[in-house]
Amino acid sequence: MAPPPRGLVITVPFLVLSLLGAAIFLFFLFFSLSSCSCPAPPSATRSSAVPSSGEVPNDSSGSAGGSLEKFRASFEDVDWVKEQIRANGLHMADNVLRKGINPRTRAQQLEDLRNFKGISHYEEADSSNHTALPCPGELLVEEHHSNYGEPWAGGRDVFEFLADATHLKPDSRVLEIGCGTLRVGLHFIRYLKPSHFHCLEKDELSLMAAFMYELPSQGLLHKRPLIVRGEDMDFTKFGSKEAYDLIYASAVFLHMPDKLVWAGLERLASKLKPYSGRILVSHNVKFCSRLGGEECTRRLATLGLEYMGKHTHDSLLFNHYEIWFEFRHSKA
């Protein structure tokens, strides 16, 4: 008779029971993982509406949920600032010049720059060659910041309003009509992806200030905004296939003849994304109201534009408000 086999013998019933036990174990394991109480990503837990504090989705990271960026200061932010001023015992004295180590007016600063051949005080004839981008003294003393009817800092306030009103995202494309020295545009350029901010401006000094001082001093040269010198609402240099999420003009159209404004609107309508894109114009739309309500609506319709309403923007940080008029492209 043959000897019995040596080693471990696995019978069929044992194998079946083992597989069944493994299946039950895996079932409970996957069930426990799927019912995890971890927090959901922001996109799943937050409403798409803009909260009152001014938070809007920011998906610049490229993820589905993204993070949240606050465009506008909240009342809690203002309370915090007031508390810091109170806690430090600060107050603003009336008509007191700042007692710095070298207090100067802008005119005096400019004279110093000219006398000393720049802030580096090089004396030789080719002193300007010590920098790759010599900046004119008029720009270094920021004279161009006084070319506006309100403080330079108000540019951030305009950006906050427009960004909130249009639910701006980093990959949005924006065109400004008359960006000047980038009082508003700097904030768009900083937030948007490279090359997503475009501007048409006719004033040479403003463009020099933008290229030679503002962009370098703000560390924004790498954003490569498309800023074009031109007038008469000529947008040919921006390309025929460009489609914008936002086109805005801050106190620009009121200085133009009606005929030119309508010609510009006709050209802009084809560059605005259908339905989702917006045109916002500040201060007034006399070019439209002078025609009368029904005639204006009809003329806008022939351009494929639809009037969406009026916004009264009350600034939280500055003692002023602005009126903005909103339009959209209603034809694909």
Q: What was the pLDDT predicted at 247?
A: 97
Total domains in the chain come to: 1
Any domain includes 11: no
Any domain includes 124: no
Amino acid at 243: A
On the CB side of 2, CA atoms within 13 Å amount to 3
Any domain includes 179: yes
DSSP 8-state secondary structure symbol assigned to residue 265: H
253, 324 Cβ separation under 8 angstroms = no
Amino acid at 99: K
Q: List all residues 6 or more positions away from 249 whose beta carbon is below 8 Å from its beta carbon.
A: 176, 177, 178, 280, 281, 282
Place of tokens 């004033």: 203
Which 3 state secondary structure label does DSSP give 81? helix
CA distances from 227 to 133, 247, 297, 312 (A): 18, 14, 32, 29
Provide the residue-wise pLDDT of the chain in tens; the chain has 332 residues: 555 555 555 565 666 566 676 666 666 555 444 433 333 333 333 333 333 344 443 444 333 333 446 677 788 888 888 888 888 887 777 655 555 555 667 777 777 767 765 555 556 666 655 677 777 878 888 888 888 777 888 899 999 999 999 999 999 999 999 999 999 999 999 999 999 999 999 989 899 999 989 999 999 999 999 999 988 888 988 988 889 999 999 888 888 899 999 999 999 998 999 999 999 999 888 999 898 889 999 999 999 999 999 998 888 777 778 899 999 998 75
Full residue range of the structural domain in which residue 172 is found: 151-329
Q: State the Cα–Cα distance between residues 139 and 210, nearest whole angstrom.
A: 9
Any domain includes 2: no
Which 3 state secondary structure label does DSSP give 55? strand
Any domain includes 230: yes
Which 3 state secondary structure label does DSSP give 92? coil
Structure tokens at 228: 């074009």
Structure tokens at 51: 């909260």
- For the whole prediction, is pTM greater than 0.75? no
CA distances from 266 to 124, 232, 259, 303, 305 (A): 55, 13, 11, 6, 9
Domain of 287, CATH number, reads 3.40.50.150
User: How many other β-carbons are positioned within 10 Å of the β-carbon of residue 198?
Assistant: 25
On the CB side of 161, CA atoms within 13 Å amount to 25
Q: State the Cα–Cα distance between residues 43 and 59, nearest whole angstrom.
A: 10
203, 134 Cβ separation under 8 angstroms = no
Structure tokens at 107: 């005119």
Q: What was the pLDDT predicted at 121?
A: 56
Q: What was the pLDDT predicted at 210?
A: 92
Any domain includes 49: no
First vs last C-alpha separation in the chain: 92
User: How many other β-carbons are positioned within 10 Å of the β-carbon of residue 136?
Assistant: 16
Any domain includes 218: yes
Q: What was the pLDDT predicted at 152?
A: 85
Q: State the Cα–Cα distance between residues 280 and 174, nearest whole angstrom.
A: 11
Any domain includes 21: no
* 139-159 core/surface letters (b: 16 or more CB in 10 A; e: else): bbbbbbbeeeebeeebbbbbb
